[in-house]
Amino acid sequence: MDRILIRGGHRLAGRLPISGAKNAALTLMPAALLTDEPLTLRNLPRLADVDGFGHLLNQLGASTAVEGTRPDEFGRVMTIRAGRLTSTEAPYDIVRKMRASILVLGPLIGRGGEARVSLPGGCAIGNRPIDLHLKALEAIGAELEMAAGYVRATAPTINGQGGRLSGGRYRFPVVSVGATENVLMAAVTARGGSCIENAAREPEIVDLCRCLIAMGAKIDGIGTDTIEVEGTDRLHGATYSVMPDRIEAGSYACAAAITGGELELTGVSVDDMGATLSALEEAGVRVEPTREGVRVTADGPLRPLTLSTAPYPGFATDMQAQFMAMLTLAQGASVLTETIFENRYMHVPELARMGADITVSGRTAVVRGVAGLTGAPVMATDLRASMSLILAGLAATGETSVARVYHLDRGYERLEEKLSGVGADIERVSDG
């Protein structure tokens, strides 16, 4: 199994390219199921989860052709053709490894009026039920059956005509990114219109809406909490470029801050990173938009923060762990509150092994800044937790060894290459 070794204490400096967004790619890929014509996705990140999703699409009968890109290039171009589906089932064996597989549910109903998808089960960061996905799909006309760990969804036959949802209205009791994406992808081919209230407003949802419109869908209220969809008989193929990854960019911005460095993050749009960049500025980091992205410069000692995670445009839960690592070196005590997931502090004991001073009670963590961290062997537990350990390792004296880096490979494209390109002493070793 691979580990990542970091010899810390190096100030990072230079330009770092940002890849396409994992959480956009994982909802754009299933959108291809909505048409029998090809959907070409550009700027698709090379990540384990993207490979996993490609495998799931193949399982359903879609082909996925990757155009060759130069090895030094980041990202790639994939053309997905779901000409004829040979299956409408997402099996347990795939879904248990990648919960985002649930995002085939909406498009499969939208395409052929039926789907059978394994329930994802629990996750390291929380229970993560899918009840809202199901309630929203029911509200726009789906009939659901739960059996043997699977949900079977069908679009009822009306006046002898089958296979299409009626459309309808649904108000989410809490904001859910995945459930918004699923109901959106089902609603675009419904007979009638749909209205989705208290919808998630994440930039990845805006990206999905834009891609669906490029495929012929009719959607209003993009980026707002009320999305109106007018059902369309048929969608067509398109070519679409995946948005840049605002979470990857935020993670590397924390790398600049924690190492006292200066990084220009290229290919990212600052508009998508509002809460992250203003929190960095509040911590005393200089943030300057550039022609190609944003420059982040550590400008003196880090100041402590009080932060609560929230749905977009609030402070992202996917940035919580990285900020925690950064704030272990702030001058004073910070207070972080995780409001989205009930178990997203598994990085705390690992950071403590490196000398961090953090107390957790319930959803709140108090991070008292220390003078320095010391390298140690640590264990990754989930995607963003693993990035917080990498950040701590970059700042620590001595060597840090991060185990279980397969978590990292799910969401960070060629991390060691990007970081060593700006001065980090980092390498991946394999323990066979």
Beta strands in 233-342 (DSSP E): 238-241, 262-266, 285-289, 293-298, 306-308, 333-337
Among 4, 6, 12, 23, binds ligand EPZ (CB under 6 A): 23
- Report the distance separating Cα 286 and Cα 155, nearest Å: 53
Q: Can residue 132 be called a binding residue for ligand EPZ (CB under 6 A)?
A: yes
Site for ligand EPZ in 343-402 (CB under 6 A): 383-384
> Near ligand EPZ by CB under 6 A, which window of 122-130, 205-213, 233-241, 412-420?
122-130
Give the nearer residue to ligand EPZ in terms of CB position, either 219 or 275.
275
Q: Can residue 411 be called a binding residue for ligand EPZ (CB under 6 A)?
A: yes
Catalytic-labelled residue, pool 123, 209, 211, 254: 123
Among 96, 128, 353, 363, binds ligand EPZ (CB under 6 A): 128
Q: Can residue 56 be called a binding residue for ligand EPZ (CB under 6 A)?
A: no
- Report the distance separating Cα 42 and Cα 30, nearest Å: 15
State the Cα angle at 188 between 185 and 191, rounded to 5°.
130
Give the nearer residue to ligand EPZ in terms of CB position, either 22 or 347.
22
Among 29, 100, 279, 324, binds ligand EPZ (CB under 6 A): 100
Q: Can residue 341 be called a binding residue for ligand EPZ (CB under 6 A)?
A: yes
Among 16, 34, 130, 348, binds ligand EPZ (CB under 6 A): 130
Q: Among this protein's residues, is 123 annotated catalytic?
A: yes
Q: Can residue 137 be called a binding residue for ligand EPZ (CB under 6 A)?
A: no
State the Cα angle at 416 between 411 and 419, rounded to 5°.
100
**Stretch 141-180: interaction string toward ligand EPZ, x if CB under 6 A:** ---------------------------------x-xxxx-
- Report the distance separating Cα 78 and Cα 338, nearest Å: 36
Give the nearer residue to ligand EPZ in terms of CB position, either 88 or 101.
101
Distance of CA 56 to the CA centre of its chain: 18
> Near ligand EPZ by CB under 6 A, which window of 2-10, 129-137, 354-362, 417-425?
129-137
> Near ligand EPZ by CB under 6 A, which window of 110-118, 128-136, 148-156, 417-425?
128-136
Q: Can residue 329 be called a binding residue for ligand EPZ (CB under 6 A)?
A: no
Which residues neighbour 164 within 8 Å (Cβ) at sequence distance 6 or greater?
113, 155, 189, 190, 191, 231
Q: Length of the chain in residues, anyone?
A: 432
What are the structure tokens assigned to 340, written together?
């989205």
For the range 209-215, what are the long-range contacts, defined as Cβ-Cβ under 8 Å and sequence gap of 24 or more?
A: 209/184, 210/240, 211/28, 211/31, 211/39, 211/238, 211/240, 212/31, 212/34, 212/184, 212/185, 212/188, 214/238, 214/239, 214/240, 215/31, 215/34, 215/35, 215/39
CB of 180 to ligand EPZ, least distance (A): 8
DSSP structural state of residue 178: H
Helices H / strands E in the chain, number of each: 14, 24
How many Cβ atoms sit within 10 Å of the Cβ of residue 291? 6
**Stretch 284-323: interaction string toward ligand EPZ, x if CB under 6 A:** ---------------------------------xx-----
Q: Can residue 328 be called a binding residue for ligand EPZ (CB under 6 A)?
A: no
DSSP conformation letters of 55-70: HHHHHHT-EEEEEP--
Give the nearer residue to ligand EPZ in terms of CB position, either 119 or 335.
119
CB of 245 to ligand EPZ, least distance (A): 9
Give the nearer residue to ligand EPZ in terms of CB position, either 71 or 362.
362
- Report the distance separating Cα 403 and Cα 410, nearest Å: 14
Among 340, 380, 387, 390, binds ligand EPZ (CB under 6 A): 340
Catalytic residues: 123
User: Which residues contact ligand EPZ by CB under 6 A?
Assistant: 22-23, 26, 100, 126-133, 174, 176-179, 317-318, 340-341, 383-384, 411
